[in-house]
Amino acid sequence: MPSMEFLWLFILYVFFLVLIVSIFCFLSGRSSSRLHHVLHRAEQVASLVLPAWLQRCLGSCFHTRNRAFVMLHLILDTLVFAEYTWEVLDYSLELEINWMLVFLPYILITLNLYCFYICCTTDPGRVTRQNESLCIQVYEYDDIMFHHNNKCPTCHLMKPARSKHCGVCGSCIQRFDHHCVWVNNCIGAQNIRYFLLYLLSLTLTAVSLAAVITVFLLQVVLLSHMMTAAYVDSEGHEDIANLAYVIQHLFLTFPRIVFTLGFLFLLILFLGGYTCFLWYLSITNQTTNEWYKARRIPGAPKGYSRGILGNLKEIFQPYSCYKKER
């Protein structure tokens, strides 16, 4: 019964999922890696083939602050949770899966949306004329990655060590990490703690959703005795069901649920990886920006670490420029 067509469709489906999730994840760390370069190239190619109005539209998506990705994020959240609520929740409660596990995703997504909201709306730590001189005192210049007496050509202010000018937000950001299109804001000294919690809670939400759906599908397979069922194949032989048969059967019976599960698995893979990476950087007191720079300067010191606890304290209790003032 698992026909070739089905396998091809399934492979195509997995391929699309990988594509969607890779785009989703790479965009969130857009300015942090080589991808910036790749995107720049893609833009050059696009400028040759795309009509002007579409270029303007895409340009405003990436180069000015706008809510397109915030909306997309909320739409994806809504779709996944609508599917979960309308299909999985009923069945799961009927199959007597532990209700605490079934309701856990709602608690986690509430936490996540709260962190998301704060990331979108807080000031990441803009350097302004008023707090320029105070910001400069927070970190020492290492004269390798960050040089003394360096003026930002756009803001005309002195650049504090560890800061960077964000072209999208239009100002220099203290302890700049990266500009995240998904929260439509920069990630810097004042909001990286919320961003770390946001990533963690989003990953945990995806894990808990995937766990419930997996338990649910396993229950269905066990209760229906699918693994021991025999079926008659196209040539009239009787066969014991194999894994491909079970997958095909589940896919045909619950297409949306299996699709959602596939999406969640890939999200966990990529987002979980990214979350670990950013937590690792935080524990070692590096910003994404510095990590990226350090890879291109061999022997660059990783100079700002103050021990794991000190580093976490710095992130969760940032020196605000006002604190120094007092």
Ligand X SMILES: *[C@@H]1O[C@H](CO)[C@@H](O)[C@H](O)[C@H]1NC(C)=O
Rounded CA-CA distance 61/188 in Å is 21
| Closest CB 148 distance from Zn ion, rounded Å | 17
Return the residues of window 185-214 that contact ligand X according to CB under 6 A. Answer: 189-190
| Closest CB 152 distance from Zn ion, rounded Å | 3
Determine which helix (DSSP H) or strand (DSSP E) holds 209, and give its type and residue range: helix 192-223
Max Cα separation, the chain?
85
Is 174 a binding residue for ligand X by CB under 6 A? The answer is yes
131 binds, among ligand X, Zn ion, none (CB under 5 to 8 A by kind): ligand X
| Closest CB 164 distance from ligand X, rounded Å | 13
User: Which residues on neighbouring strands pair with residue 151, listed in sequence order?
Assistant: 158
Tokens matching residue 92: 């799961």
Among 29, 105, 125, 262, binds ligand X (CB under 6 A): 125
Rounded to 5 degrees, φ, ψ at 94 are: -60, -40
Nearer to ligand X, 125 or 303 (CB): 125
Rounded CA-CA distance 157/173 in Å is 11
Contacts with ligand X, 258-287, as mask; x by CB under 6 A: ------------------------------
Applying CB under 6 A, which part among 33-41, 46-54, 102-110, 120-128 lies near ligand X?
A: 120-128
287 binds, among Zn ion, ligand X, none (CB under 5 to 8 A by kind): none
Is 92 a binding residue for ligand X by CB under 6 A? The answer is no
Applying CB under 6 A, which part among 26-34, 105-113, 128-136, 301-309 lies near ligand X?
A: 128-136
Do 302 and 282 meet the contact criterion of CB atoms below 8 Å apart?
no
Do 28 and 278 meet the contact criterion of CB atoms below 8 Å apart?
no
Residues that bind Zn ion (CB under 5 A): 152, 154-155, 165-166, 168-169, 172, 179, 186
| Closest CB 74 distance from Zn ion, rounded Å | 20
Number of H helices and E strands in the chain, helices first, is 13, 6
CA nearest neighbour of 210 among 261, 144, 246, 168: 261
Rounded CA-CA distance 35/23 in Å is 11
Rounded CA-CA distance 25/166 in Å is 20
In angstroms, what CA-CA distances link 94 with 78, 98, 216, 252? 23, 10, 10, 21
169 binds, among ligand X, Zn ion, none (CB under 5 to 8 A by kind): Zn ion
Is 123 a binding residue for ligand X by CB under 6 A? The answer is yes
60 binds, among Zn ion, ligand X, none (CB under 5 to 8 A by kind): none
Nearer to ligand X, 58 or 168 (CB): 168
Nearer to ligand X, 183 or 202 (CB): 183
25 is catalytic: no
Rounded CA-CA distance 176/127 in Å is 11
168 binds, among ligand X, Zn ion, none (CB under 5 to 8 A by kind): Zn ion
Number of residues that bind ligand X (CB under 6 A): 12
Applying CB under 6 A, which part among 53-61, 130-138, 151-159, 220-228 lies near ligand X?
A: 130-138
Rounded CA-CA distance 188/63 in Å is 18
| Closest CB 156 distance from ligand X, rounded Å | 16
| Closest CB 152 distance from ligand X, rounded Å | 14
The single residue of 120, 135, 172, 180 carrying the catalytic annotation is: 180
Any long-range contacts for 223-228 (C-beta under 8 Å, 24+ apart)? 223/95
Do 69 and 27 meet the contact criterion of CB atoms below 8 Å apart?
yes
- Binding-site ranges for ligand X (CB under 6 A): 123, 125-126, 128, 130-131, 135, 174, 189-190, 320-321
Active-site residue set: 180
